[in-house]
Structure 1
Amino acid sequence: MSTSAPKPSSSVTDREADAPLPEPIRFYGTRWVDRSRGYAPRRVLLTAAATLLTVAGALALWILYAGVAAGSPAWLSSLVLLALLLCTAIAFTRAWAGYTRPRRVDAVDESAFRSIMFVGFVGVLLAYALRSLVEAPGEGLLRADHEAALERHRRLTVKRSGNPARRGQGRRRR
């Protein structure tokens, strides 16, 4: 009696079974690969949700600013407004770059920007909403990585016939 793993179905070859799996994207899983099983409605809903959260966050920050500006000197309220705007702009740019460009190896540690991203959460939500209009955020980068991994896998698993060192010898004898 053998305790080996079950054989894959006849529709899946050994090469396909060993192929690299795609990385999941938050809220999308691996549906982004073939854009199936509710990918489009999910993208529409997540875009709408991110847009609503962006508007709600901007409203909350406006209420916060109005509360600070009401009982403080003009220079302090100006500094608070400047800090909120700068944090939002930095958070937007970093989030957008994370969705569109591959991360550099020497990139600055994300923990250094955690507080800026927290204060500028409206920028992060806005970047997510805008990127969701085009594709699932980060899908382009993961798709390029996955296709490159599949190509590497295909090149490594292509069957060779015979000994490559003996290929030329057979032709010369004839």
Structure 2
Amino acid sequence: MGRVRTTTTADGAPAPEPIRFFGTTWVDRDAAYWLRRALVSLGALAATAAGALLLRLGVSGVRLSAAAPLTVLLSLAIGICTALAGLRNWKILTEGRDSLTGWMAEDKALAGVWLAGSVGALAVYFLRSLVEAPGEGLRRAVHDQRTATWQRRRAARAERDARKAARRRT
């Protein structure tokens, strides 16, 4: 959420930012939102299972090759990468990309770690989608804050205009 959008609705209120796969249905939580939540959860679970199967096949291939002693090391490396990627994805979904510091903020330098640990990131996405649309809490807080600020300014402007009108009448 590093970028600040200034989009507004027809009456000038701040517009909510869309979330991938959900659009702005997260604001009202209508029927389309709940259907999308169910489908995203199932899709994330299927992608997690497919990724885990691919990793299992890869490790099995190494075990069958002449490099069998490396199987334990490979499994350990994949486990660590999965945990790191899952932890990073959880932080992104709950606190936003701007909250990443240190090694978590490295996109290019640790791209291999994030790729090898993609199953962990998908598993976290699945778990988060059971609670809310991933990233919804963060976006809802920002949207509520912007809406409250807009309403305060609107009320102050209306009060100022009413005072000016009263002074003109007298």
**Fold-level match, TM-score > 0.5?**
yes
SS in 2 for 1:137: coil
Q: Evaluate the alpha carbon distance shift between residue 113 and residue 157 of structure 1 in structure 2; reply closer, same or farther with a 3 A threshold.
A: farther
- Name the TM-score, length of structure 1 as normaliser: 0.78
8 Å CA contact retained: 2:95, 2:138:
yes
Q: Which consecutive residues of structure 1, in runs of 5 or more, have no partner in the other structure? A: 1-14, 167-174
Verify: 1:45 aligned to 2:46, yes or no.
no
Which structure: greater helix fraction?
2
1:86 to 68, 73, 80: 80
Query: Which runs of 4 or more aligned residues in structure 1 lie more than 2 Å from their structure 2 counterparts after TM superposition?
Result: 72-75, 102-115
Distance in 2 separating the partners of 1:150 and 1:65: 51
8 Å CA contact retained: 2:91, 2:100:
no
Q: Which consecutive residues of structure 2, in runs of 5 or more, have no partner in the other structure? A: 1-8
Distance in 2 separating the partners of 1:60 and 1:38: 32
1:146 to 143, 148, 157: 143
Decide which structure has the larger Cα Rg and report it: 1
The alignment's C-alpha RMSD in Å is 2.1
Identical positions, percent: 41
- The count of residues paired between Structure 1 and Structure 2 equals 150
Match of 2:64 in 1: 70
Question: Once the 2 structures are TM-superposed, how far is the Cα of residue 91 of structure 1 from its aligned partner?
Answer: 0.6
SS in 2 for 1:110: coil
SS in 2 for 1:25: coil
- Name the TM-score, length of structure 2 as normaliser: 0.80
Match of 2:5 in 1: none
